Amino acid sequence: MNTTDKILMDYAMDRNLNQSEKDILSFLIQKKMEGEQLSIRKAANKLFVSTTSILRLCKKLGFSGYTEFIYNLGLKVAKMPDTEAEFLEGIHSPLETKRKEFMQNYELTFLSLNETHVQVFLEQLQKCQKIYFYGAGFSTTFSNYLAKKMELFGYYVSNSSTSDSRALFWNNIQKYELFIVFSRSGETNRVIEKVKIAKNNGLKTILFTGNKHSTNASLADLVFPVIDPTIESQQEFQVTSYESNMMLLIDTLLSLAIQKGIIKEF
């Protein structure tokens, strides 16, 4: 991000500028950076716009007119050292790389969704009012989140993790109609055991995972895989797009259920 872009961002933030207004603002900033003094009429002629358009922009930015805006812009440019621009570029580039990586992984996750599984998932939410949630390790974050959401939507839910005993799980699972489990690797023994118990009790089992080829994936009735960049290295403690993309997937499915009238928002 260069200095011009940084100043433009400062002015444009929360102003809802259209593209034409951004182009005018960018031009005025650039000319000020180059030390060129432009009257409003000369600026309008160079931009092929009316002076009214420039005045409207200045007022939208919170200034009384063009003169006040140009004065403020001069102060802002004077306070912007070259080193700051270089510093911001060092932040912007890796930030943009990570943004693209995270969004690409979510896009791949979304495109890999089995739409039949999505339809069956929605049917299960419509059919079952008693849902048991289960997660291991960091996956408890997802089970806690979805369980709390479903509880707010009026469902009867229970949520447990690997800290609960097998006997406790066995006693509780028989009260429920649907089992939703989160397991990043899909190979945690305690999770595999709970999936088998749930299936033996006749519950439809839905798995959210980072490993669609796992043991749990082979056991579950429905599988929703999320791209996991650590799937081969098995370094699950790395900060990756997996966690945020999992949350996006959950909210995408919930939004679809609400849109179709399966879930009622209070």
Which residues does residue 41 pair with via DSSP β-bridges, in sequence order? none
How does residue 1 score in pLDDT terms, banded at 50, 70 and 90? Answer: low
pLDDT score at 91? 66
Do 70 and 127 fall into the same domain? no
What pLDDT digit, counting tens, does each position of 177-225 carry? Answer: 999 999 999 999 989 999 998 998 899 999 999 999 999 999 999 999 9
What pLDDT digit, counting tens, does each position of 112-125 carry? Answer: 899 999 999 999 99
What pLDDT digit, counting tens, does each position of 79-113 carry? Answer: 766 555 555 556 667 777 888 889 999 999 999 89
Do 144 and 66 fall into the same domain? no
- Reported in sequence order, the residue ranges of the chain that DSSP labels E, i.e. its strands, are 130-135, 156-161, 178-183, 204-209, 222-225
Residue 7 maps to a domain:
yes
Do 187 and 249 fall into the same domain? yes
62 dihedral zone (left: phi>0; alpha: psi -120 to 50; beta):
left
Do 118 and 51 fall into the same domain? no
Work out how many domains the chain is built from and give that number.
2
Return all residues near 185 (Cβ < 8 A) that are at least 6 apart.
209, 210, 211, 214, 234, 236
Task: Tell me the residue range of the domain where 46 lies.
Answer: 3-80
Cα separation values, 29 from 9, 84, 122, 218, 246, Å: 11, 16, 52, 59, 41
Percent of the chain with pLDDT over 70: 92
Q: What is the CATH number of the domain that holds 22?
A: 1.10.10.10
Do 138 and 255 fall into the same domain? yes
Residue 85 maps to a domain:
no
Residue 93 maps to a domain:
no
pTM: 0.65
